[in-house]
Amino acid sequence: MEKDKKVCCICGKEFTEWGNDPYPVKEDGECCRSCNWGVVIPKRVELSKREH
């Protein structure tokens, strides 16, 4: 059984793993694992440091 292909809302590449919540980088869609670790999580950390 082939996994469903999805398109990352950040980089535009296809992926088959679980999608990740792209907030706060994007409001809608799912992002790939690479963008989650390389873009979304660093942005969340940056924003959390600003709030304190």
Q: Quick check: is 12 in a domain?
A: yes
**Whole-number pLDDT of residue 37:** 98
Enter the tokens of residue 20: 């990740």
Domain count, the chain: 1
Closest residue by Cα to residue 22 from 9, 5, 13: 9
Task: Please list the alpha-helical segments (H only) found in the chain.
Answer: 33-35, 41-50
Domain extent at residue 44: 6-50
DSSP classification of residue 2:
P
The verdict on residue 1 lying in a domain is: no
pTM of the model: 0.86
Tens place of pLDDT per residue across the chain (52 aa): 457 899 999 999 999 999 999 999 999 999 999 999 999 999 999 999 986 6
Q: Specify burial of residue 43 (Cβ count, 10 A radius: 0-12, 13-18, 19+).
A: middle
Q: Is the distance from CB of 30 to CB of 5 less than 8 angstroms? A: no
